[in-house]
Structure 1
C-alpha cells in the first residue's frame, strides 16, 4: 500500500525553534559514540523536521530491537478492546496445555498485566533460563522459571515476559502480530511495509525483531499522543493508552538523580524524565512529549542511549515554544537544506597502491582470529573498482569499493560499503547492514593474507551475514 504523507509545516509555524534542532544535530554528529541514522519530529500533528543520514534512506526498513515491544503492547490493547484478552486474567489460563507442568504458585498467579508491565515477579532477565528449560516453547520455559517475588511487586526487564504477551495475542487472534496489526493499526495509520522476525515456534518474536520505517515509529507515537484517535477515528481505547503510558511498577533503585531508565515502566513503554517512550537497543527511540504536543523518532547506532536522551532534553525541549515564531524563514530553510543533505562520513582510506597493484589484483584472505564468522574475504581489482567478497559457509556477499563514498547493494542483503587502503599492505572497509543498526569493519592484511572482522555494536540476533536484514530479504 502507498504511505499517506503526514501533514507538513515549517518549524516556526508550529512553534519550534530551528536553532535548537541545529544544535541537536550538531551534538549528535560531534559525538564519537553516536552514528545517527534518522530523525523525525512531529509538533502539533505536523512534520516539522525529518532527515536520514545517507546511506540510510527514508523508505528503508530498520531493525527496531526492543522498540518492537511498544507495537506488541498496541496489539494487546487492540485485542483487549475486542474482548479477546483481559489484563487481569491469569497467564496460565491462555495456555491450558501447560497446566500440569506449572505448579509454582507465583507462576500460576501471574496475570497478563504482569507480563505486560515487566512485573512477573522475577528479579532478573529469564531468557537464558527459560530457553534452557524449553528451547522450542519459550512460554512454557518462562512459566517454569519460578518468580522470586509475588507478581506485580518488582520490576525486571525480561524478554520472555513480552514474548508471552505476544504469544497470548497470537493465540487468541489466530494470526501473527503483523497480520493482526495490519488492518487495525498499520493501514489506518498509513504505515507501509513492516516485517517481524519469527522464532522456532513460528511466532512473531514480540520482544524484538520488528523492522519498520522511522515514519512508522513516529505515527505510533502520535497515535498514543492523541489518546488512541487517528484522523477522527478511535483505534485504541483511551483507557488502554492511559494504562500503557503511566507507571505500572517502579524501577527506581534509590540512587541519587536517576536516569531515564529509573522513572517507572508502563505497558511496554518506559516513563521518562519528560513524557514517555518506547526504545530499542543501540538507540531506536519513539519519544512522546504530551506537555509539548510533540513526538520524536530516532534510529541510530550507539551504546550511549542516555546521552541521546540528555541531548534531546538539552536542545530540543527548549526549542518547543508555546506559540508560532515569526521572521524565521531563513533559519527554517537552512534547517531543511541541512536535513536533506545528511550523510554518514565514509570510512577513511586511500586509493589502491600503484606500486603493489599486481599483488592486490586478486587475493584471498583467511580469518586472522578464531571468532571471525566469515570464512574468507576475496579482493579483486577491476575496471569498475575494487570488489570485496565476503564468504560465509558458502554464501557470498559481493561488495564494490568506490572512492570517497558509500556504495549500496541490495542483494543478497541490503548493504553499503566504503573504505580503502590505510597503507600499501592494509585494506580496511566498513560494511553497513542497512536494515539494521550494525556496522562491520573488515581489515585485510596483505603480508600475512589474513583479515579481521569487528562489529561496532554486537548484533543481538545471531544471524549469518547474508541474513542481516528484514526477514523478507532472505
Structure 2
C-alpha cells in the first residue's frame, strides 16, 4: 500500500517507486554517463572525444599509442563510437599525407566490387567470361568466378615478387591480359594461394560489368560519398590505363580511416547507403579455403595471426606491406588505422622480421584491450614467436612470369609485348607516376 503523508510519500514507498521506474524506464538510475557517439564527417577529419567519454582509460590508450609510435608507426588513429579518441604525436602532419598502402588496395577493390554487386551489375558466382570481351582468354580462364578472384582461389600460378616488381616501373603493357596468360596450376576454387594478378583481373572484370572506367566508378560510388576528392589520392595504372588491383594506392591515413569507419557502420556514411550490410557480412565471413580471409579482408579468429594477432576474434582488417592497416573491431565499436615501416621485434634475425610480423599488432592490442573500461576484454596473453618455416620461393618468383611481360615465353599473351598490346597505343613507362606528381 502506498501511504500519502504530510511529506507526500513515505520513504519506503519512494524507494519502491524508484525501483519500479528504474526497471520500467531503460537507462534511468544509471550512475555511468551515456557514451558519446560522434557523427560521421565528409571533411578531412572526424569528430574527437575524450577517452573517458567512450569508456576508455586515457593513460592506457596513450600507452598503446606510444608503443606503436616507438615501433615505426608514422601515424596512429584510434576511434571508438566514430570518435577519434587517440592519435600519434605526428598525426597533425602525417594524417593528410598520401602514403603507399600496398595491398590495402585489395580490400578497397573488394568494397568497389561489393557496390557493383549491390547494384546488380554482377553476381559473385558469375564466371568472369560473362563480362570479358568475346575471344579474350581461353575457356578455362573465362570459367573462373568473381568469388574465386575475391577469395584468392582462382588457381592462377602465383609469384608475388615477380607479379609486383614490374608495377614499380610501370613497364607492364596490360596487367589483365597478363593474368589471362598466367597458367592455372590448380582447379579454380580448390586451393587458396595469394595472387596479385587475380585482383588485377578482378578490377578489369568489374570495369566491364559496370560499363565505365574502374577509377571513375570507384570515385563516384565509394570515395565521393565519403568526402574523398579525386585529387586526395592516387591509384596507379598500367600502360593500357588499367587500374592496379593488388597495390599502388596512395592515400592519407585520414581517408583510410574513413574506409574502416564505413565498414564498421555496415556501409552507411552521413545518412547515405554506400555499401550494403549484406555484402559486408559476406566480405568478413571466413572463406571456404582460408578461414582467415573473407572477400579480400583479413579476419581474426582461432589460428589467425597476421595481421590481427592479439585483437578480439571478430576483428577484420585491411593490410598492406610493412604494416599499413585499418583494423575494425565490431564488438568494441573500435577502428584503428596506422601506417609506417614494419616495426615488429624478432629474435630470429632478418627472416623473423620479414615473416613474423604479428608481434607488433599482438602487443599493441594487448595494451589497447586493457584500456577498455566498460566491457571486459580478455587479455590475449604474451606473444610467443613461432619458428620461421623453411620457405619455398616458388610462390614468390617466376622467370616465366617476368619474361611474359616482355612477350617472351609461355606466360605471354599472344600478340602482346612491351611495345604493342591490343588496339590502343601504350603509354610510356613511368607516365602514370609522372601524371600523379603535383603540378
Structure 1 position 162 matched with structure 2 position 202: no
Q: Structure 1's 56 and 470: CA in aligned 2 closer, same or farther, altered over 3 A?
A: farther
Report the Cα offset of residue 307 of structure 1. Answer: 2.3
Q: Structure 1's 51 and 227: CA in aligned 2 closer, same or farther, altered over 3 A?
A: same
Note the aligned Cα RMSD (angstroms).
3.1
Give the structure 1 partner of residue 299 of structure 2.
271
TM-score norm. by structure 2 comes to 0.65
- Of the structure 1 ranges 214-223 and 189-198, higher mean CA displacement relative to structure 2 is found in 189-198
Give the structure 2 partner of residue 40 of structure 1.
77
- 1:186 is matched with which residue: 211, 218, 223? 223
What is the correspondence of 1:218-229 to structure 2 with a 5 Å cutoff? 218-229=257-268
Q: Structure 1's 63 and 174: CA in aligned 2 closer, same or farther, altered over 3 A?
A: farther
Give the structure 2 partner of residue 124 of structure 1.
158
Give the structure 2 partner of residue 309 of structure 1.
361
Q: Secondary structure at 1:38's aligned position in 2?
A: strand
Give the structure 2 partner of residue 286 of structure 1.
326
- 1:471 is matched with which residue: 432, 436, 439? 436
- 2:138 is matched with which residue: 96, 102, 124? 102
Q: Structure 1's 270 and 48: CA in aligned 2 closer, same or farther, altered over 3 A?
A: same
Give the structure 2 partner of residue 115 of structure 1.
149
What residue ranges of structure 2 are gaps of 5+ in the alignment?
1-40, 302-312, 345-356, 377-428
What is the correspondence of 1:246-261 to structure 2 with a 5 Å cutoff? 246-251=285-290
CA distance in 2, matches of 1:83, 1:201: 27
Give the structure 1 partner of residue 389 of structure 2.
none
Give the structure 2 partner of residue 60 of structure 1.
97
Structure having the higher helix fraction is 2
What is the correspondence of 1:18-37 to structure 2 with a 5 Å cutoff? 18-30=58-70, 34-37=71-74
Q: Structure 1's 135 and 86: CA in aligned 2 closer, same or farther, altered over 3 A?
A: same
Give the structure 2 partner of residue 197 of structure 1.
236
Query: Moved runs in structure 1, 4+ residues, more than 4 A?
Result: 129-132, 466-470
Q: Structure 1's 308 and 467: CA in aligned 2 closer, same or farther, altered over 3 A?
A: farther
What residue ranges of structure 1 are gaps of 5+ in the alignment?
252-262, 325-462
- The structure whose Rg is larger is 2
Give the structure 1 partner of residue 38 of structure 2.
none
1:405-438 CA deviation, whole Å, 9 max, x = no partner? xxxxxxxxxxxxxxxxxxxxxxxxxxxxxxxxxx
- 1:82 is matched with which residue: 74, 95, 119? 119
Structure having the higher strand fraction is 1
CA distance in 1, matches of 2:52, 2:157: 47
Count of residue correspondences = 317
Give the structure 1 partner of residue 175 of structure 2.
138
Report the Cα offset of residue 290 of structure 1. Answer: 0.9
TM-score norm. by structure 1 comes to 0.61
